[in-house]
Amino acid sequence: MKQKIYIDHQIYTIQNFGGISRVFTELYKEFRKNDEIEPILPFLLSDNEYIKEVKEVKSIFPLNKSFIKRLFYYAINRLYSTWVLIKGDFDIFQPTYYDPYFLPFLKGKPFVLLVHDMTHEIFPNTVSKKDKTIVWKKKLIYKADRILAISENTKKDIIKFYGINESKIDIVYWGTSLKVTKNNFNIDLPKRYILFVGNRETYKNFELFFKSISIILKEFKDMYLVCAGSSNFSDKERRMFKEFEVEEKVKHFKFKGDDELAYIYSKAVCFVFPSLYEGFGIPVLEAFACNCPAIISNTSSFPEVGGNAVEYFNPQNMESIKNAVEKVIKSEKLRQDLIIKGRNRLKMFSWEKAAQKFTSVYKEIKL
């Protein structure tokens, strides 16, 4: 008999797009291929881009991104999720984030907690005092039947901060959904550019990274910096670009879907990931999948993911960042070598393998 796995609404209510909702969408697809697992996704409202691939949901006022709308979505989905919980027609509960709303309604049913990273604990000063993530996560970590950490580094951090017995924690690695297509997109990209992807705030270390490579942007007349995704440049960032006299050489692009993002990766001279900390770091795999040489931090989970297929640097040292980037952009041979190693490294990671790990953990839980 198949195990019924209840995957809850949280991340699909919180995110319109983003790494965690992509993860659960890919896991759901893999679970549906599995003879031992029957996944269910019981919620009603979402504007998430990925959920449309696996489930029909309603979207109310889709152009409205107000906080009130988000609260309304959350209230409706939580009520519906609680009703399904009370009915109890499932074997294992799989929360997609850390809201512990479900605990009073489990009635002895087990739940598996996925811990994505320990960013809030490591960088508490970057979190609003109203943010309940640490309190919620701590509560669930202690109550979970099993914990899945997305890297060995994250597992070590869980043990460090919460003293959990390591036998309770399993490790699961992610895959990537990106692949290079033959499509050409109408994007006005520079001919040669260094690529930065995603959020640029706080521990993502964008400011130090930019300052480190500003001299490269000046020295190489045809080299640009392209920032893909996230928000437009802030006034502070624009002042910084101007101060370093490269404001015309820093571009921002909002991509539309995975194919467009893959195209942006594939045309870059290199991809740089200067973050101070990541639970896993899916963009490293995205670069591998798109034949883009990767230059990344030597901290946290990065060495686990990158292996010998990347160029490393110390993310807190400007000279180290500059030297690594300069080394790669100056050598066509090194870039080709990194691309080949990246393709080989990517074989270690897939959504199928991730889903198999979840399945093996579910099977070990006594129902």
Confidence (pLDDT) at 249: 97
Under the banding of pLDDT at 50, 70 and 90, the label for residue 155 is very high
Averaged confidence pLDDT in the chain: 94
Which is more confident, 62 or 97?
97
For residues 212 and 132, membership in a common domain is answered with no
Closest among 90, 110, 81, 102 to 4, alpha carbons compared = 90
For residues 337 and 211, membership in a common domain is answered with yes
The lowest-confidence range among 97-111, 116-130, 345-359 is: 116-130
The pTM (predicted TM-score) of the whole model is: 0.94
305 in a domain, yes or no? yes
- CA-to-CA dists, residue 199 to 128, 196, 273, angstroms: 17, 9, 11
Closest among 270, 223, 290, 292 to 251, alpha carbons compared = 223
- The answer to whether the beta carbons of residues 138 and 132 sit under 8 Å apart is no
In sequence order, which residues have a C-beta less than 8 Å from that of residue 37 and are 6 or more positions away? 2, 3, 5, 31, 359, 362
Under the banding of pLDDT at 50, 70 and 90, the label for residue 224 is very high
For residues 197 and 327, membership in a common domain is answered with yes
271 in a domain, yes or no? yes
For residues 107 and 135, membership in a common domain is answered with yes
What residues make up the domain containing 337?
Answer: 192-346
For residues 137 and 245, membership in a common domain is answered with no
- 332 - beta bridge partners? none
Measured distance CA(179)–CA(196) in Å, rounded: 18
CATH number, domain of 311, equals 3.40.50.2000
One-letter amino acid for residue 252 of the chain? H
Domains in the chain: how many in total?
2
- Residues 188-201: tens digit of each pLDDT: 899 999 999 999 98
DSSP element (H, E) containing 332:
helix 332-346
- Residues 52-61: tens digit of each pLDDT: 899 988 888 7
For residues 248 and 270, membership in a common domain is answered with yes
Please report, rounded to a whole number, the percentage of residues in the chain having pLDDT higher than 90. Answer: 85
Under the banding of pLDDT at 50, 70 and 90, the label for residue 76 is very high
- Residues 208-217: tens digit of each pLDDT: 999 999 999 9
For residues 338 and 356, membership in a common domain is answered with no
- Residues 262-287: tens digit of each pLDDT: 999 999 999 999 999 999 999 999 99
For residues 326 and 355, membership in a common domain is answered with no
